[in-house]
Chain A
Amino acid sequence: MNQSGRARTPRIAALLGLAMAASASIAEPVPPTGPHGAMALDAQQKRLNQLVTASTAPPPGIDPVAWASIYVPPGNELTADRIALGRKLYFDVRLSKDGTVACATCHDASRGFTDQRNVSEGIGDHLGRRSSPTTMNAALFQSMFWDGRAVTLEDQAKLPILNPIEMGHPDAASAMAGIAADPAYPGLFQKAYGRAPNYDDLGRAIASFERTLIFLDAPFDHFAAGDTKAISPAAQRGLALFNGKARCVSCHMINSSNPLGTDNLFHNIGVSARKQNFEALAQQALGALKDGSDVDALDKLALQTDMSELGRFIVSRKRGDIGAFKTEQLRNVGITAPYMHDGSLRTLWDVLDHYNKGGETNPYLDGGIEPLNLSEDEINDVVAFLFTLTDTRFAAQNEAAMRSQQAQAAKKRPFRDNALAHREVLPFEQRVLGPAGLK
């Protein structure tokens, strides 16, 4: 049944490859590995030098409207000194309690500024509950974290340092003491903020550095600007599907003034619902809310690791947000696998399979999610389009990722369910009617 789809992929790869090969890219030596599997930090810094210049000017490829829409809190206007301080902090393992984890450990410059793991590994090899999102273009988001609990990069940057299973400092003072050994910092903080080192300025500086990680110069942008050969015919068909039958655009609208390809909202697409206890957790949480006197209990429940699967609900306490997570950006999606908040989807083919079957059925499923009835050819076309959203500076990495994903997808498509995708079996049908289904 799936033979035709597999047979077609090499052709698409070839088409994509043609488009990719046209752009120059950075040589790709095997990255030396440091703690927690990240590339050694000095090697990362070298890589970074090839990618960006520490400049306060608008990065190449960004629309002036999008650049102007980046929120910068008063008092943290972008300056070269702040970027330099932030960059040093980003690569400083002393911000972790045991000296093994820097920002760059999970947001690795050699791995699409993420760690390419399902979920991230913190101090003491603790595994978190969520997949590390890329720091590329994060400045353009309206909220940070998968559940949007921080509004600014400044807020966001300070939290993992104090998270017991990420970087593990018990408090801000401990983190500041961690970097006090470096005699360079007081001068750098002074230059950047005109005062002695402190935790809020640390957050500000890291945010400043992250605002320079803008990677929006992709083949898709060249195509949108009128170069009809910038992306392959398959990718062009994929773009039409993206905007039409596949419905991606409803949440992932992408254009020059909203370049990320996100609606900045939160949707339940059912990823959490694959976990055995999701619905029981939701019932438990709603039950705690039902009885107003027990709200403290909900806070306690939220600290239990599994409750994080309720996503945005833990922040907003709205029923409609149960199991909802932030719409992730699509920029550079080819090199930031695995996908979804828990990293449970290995390839973009898996992502398309997930959406094609209408997500994972659960009582809180977003109503815009329904089976798409995409054919294998159509899936390949959309995937081909998604690989054109990677910045040209990562062209080689993107092509390697595509070949690797293609090989994985050829072996295994764990989320494919053609009966659901093609609407032969309906979501909710077996939950309600049992395995026999509709007569």
Chain B
Amino acid sequence: MNDGKIPHIKSVETRHLEEREALFRGLHNLDRRAFLKISTGAAAAAVAAGVNYPFHSFLPISVAYADDRPGFNFAYISDSHLYVKAKNERFIRQLLRAVDDVNALDPQPDFVLYGGDLAQLGRKEELDVGAQVLKSLKAPVHMMAGEHDWFYDMGHRWNELFGPETYSFDHKGVHFVVLMSVQEKDFWTARGMSPAERMHTVAGLDNAVQSAFEVGAAQREWLRKDLEKVSKSTPLIVFSHSPLYKLYRPWNFWTDDAEDVQALLQPFDHVTVLHGHTHQVLTNRIGHIQFHGMLSTAWPWPYAPQGLPALTVQMNRPNPFDVSDGLGDGSATVHPDGLVDKLYSLWNRNPMQVKASYLSSGGKSDIPVPPTLSSY
């Protein structure tokens, strides 16, 4: 038998309760950073004591929720990649789960952003089932298109269901812009591709036959005009399906004219970009533009082998034995200054919050707490 793994015999239950009591008593007089420090300390002490069990990890989930500043919230769901139910019911179930999550939020968010790639292969039937599910969201929905929605009929059914793919709106003093950032140059005509072949090519993340995503000149011109009427001090929040920067071209984690779009955004004092497509916790800052990825409800992507922004605190590698791991939905808290605290609600894990102050400080303060789930 084995000796010496746990060098104490005091009821673990008692010890646990004592430690927690001390921690939370201390909490009354602490700011959040100090709280974090103590929590981490308790975890470290448990490790030092040789406790093999994830017992004393008082990683404060309250951090992920608590915020006393005024502002408003919106929720997001993204990248559901639906097939028709007869072909694949799992992805529909996972979208249903996300809608159930968002409908349970109390208070309800001001609106829900759908981040694109509602369908997997852009078929009418796929978009229709997605539209039916999203209709049951209690809060109003703002739709964004992704490449999987688009390249079968070049957005025809999507536009019929959801209206124009490029638009802007104002909400509580914030100017919101929704772009269609996954335009592609024509690679299909010369190859004589059918719509289905074109869609199938774009649907493969690592398919090199397709061209790079771009916002395109026409839409950039629209954006320039749209922003003309907005004062530079108005907070700006941009939704794009692809990240509006260049991360990793082989997987199209990329927008080819990102610099041109960024140049239109940089003059504004407070700019945040939320994007889909990357299916992971992803954080970046370029100039003072803050970028956040969104989680998928269908499947998680690994991190790209190159180009990962230094500010990204990675989520754990998803467990392939849990078909929902690394997936989820989330929300954003918009502060009066227009900056955004981004919440990733990972199913079955603790939520991860990436605060605006973390990005503003260049990663020095409010460092996100990574998930504590062990790797597999």
Contacts and interface: CB of A to CB of B under 8 A. Distances in A.
Direct contact between A and B judged by beta carbons closer than 8 A: yes
Interface of A: 67-75, 77-78, 142-143, 148-152, 154-155, 158-159, 200, 211, 247, 250, 268, 279, 283, 286, 289-293, 295-296, 299, 315-320, 363-364, 366-368, 370, 423, 426-429, 431-434, 438-439
Interface stretch (B94-102, B168-176, B209-217, B302-310): B94-102
Nearest to B63: A292
Interface stretch (B47-55, B145-153, B159-167, B251-259): B47-55
A289 B2 contact: no
Contact of A74 (B4, B24, B100, B106): B4
Contacts of A291: 62, 66
B200 interface: no
B24 A290 contact: no
B348 to A, nearest CB: 5
Contacts of A433: 96, 132-133, 136
A-B pairs with the 7 shortest C-beta distances? A367-B324, A428-B96, A368-B322, A295-B24, A290-B65, A367-B322, A426-B93
Task: Tell me which of B2, B35, B132 has the highest count of chain A C-beta atoms within 10 A of its own C-beta.
Answer: B2
B57 interface: yes
Contacts of A432: 96, 99-100, 103, 133, 136
Contact of A292 (B24, B89, B90, B372): B24
A152 B10 CA distance: 10
B157 to A, nearest CB: 16
Contacts of B65: 286, 289-290
B93 A70 contact: no
Contacts of A72: 1-3
Interface in B25-67: 27-28, 35, 51-55, 57-62, 65-66
Nearest to B11: A155
Interface of B: 1-7, 9, 11-13, 16, 20-21, 24, 27-28, 35, 51-55, 57-62, 65-66, 85, 89-90, 92-93, 96-97, 99-101, 103-104, 106, 128-129, 132-133, 136, 319, 321-325, 327, 347-351, 372-373
Contacts of A293: 27-28
Contact of B93 (A75, A363, A428): A428
A370 B321 CA distance: 11
5 contacts: A152-B12, A200-B9, A367-B347, A368-B324, A426-B93
Contacts of B1: 67-68, 70-72, 77-78, 211
A69 B2 contact: yes
A101 B3 CA distance: 32
Contacts of B24: 292, 295-296
A290 B62 contact: yes
A428 B100 contact: yes
Contacts of A250: 321-322
A150 B4 CA distance: 17
A158 B11 CA distance: 9
B27 A292 contact: yes
Given A316-B54, A432-B136, A73 B93 contact: no
A296 B11 CA distance: 21
A431 B5 CA distance: 47
A320 B350 contact: yes
B11 A70 contact: no
Contacts of A149: 12-13, 16
Contact of B6 (A69, A152, A364, A429): A152
Contact of A143 (B53, B60, B348): B53
Given A72-B3, A149-B12, A431-B100, 7 more contacts: A73-B9, A149-B16, A283-B104, A315-B55, A367-B327, A432-B100, A438-B129
Given A316-B57, A428-B97, A367 B348 contact: yes
Contact of B53 (A151, A283, A426): A151
A216 to B, nearest CB: 15
A143 to B, nearest CB: 6
Contacts of B57: 316, 318
Nearest to A72: B1
A295 B100 CA distance: 27
Given A292-B27, A426-B92, A151 B6 contact: yes
A302 B6 CA distance: 27
Given A155-B12, A295-B24, A426 B348 contact: no
B19 to A, nearest CB: 12
Q: Residue among B5, B11, B35, B128 with the most chain A CB within 10 A? A: B11
A148 B106 CA distance: 31
B57 to A, nearest CB: 7
Contacts of B132: 433, 438-439
Contacts of B349: 319-320
Contacts of B61: 289, 317-319
B354 to A, nearest CB: 17
A367 B325 contact: yes
B350 to A, nearest CB: 5
Contacts of B100: 363, 428, 431-432
A329 B219 CA distance: 60
A139 to B, nearest CB: 9
Nearest to A56: B1
Contact of B2 (A70, A279, A423): A70
B24 to A, nearest CB: 4
Contact of A426 (B35, B58, B60, B89): B89
A268 B349 CA distance: 12
A133 to B, nearest CB: 16
Given A364-B348, A366-B348, A317 B9 contact: no
Contacts of B322: 250, 366-368
Nearest to B59: A318
Contacts of B348: 268, 320, 364, 366-367
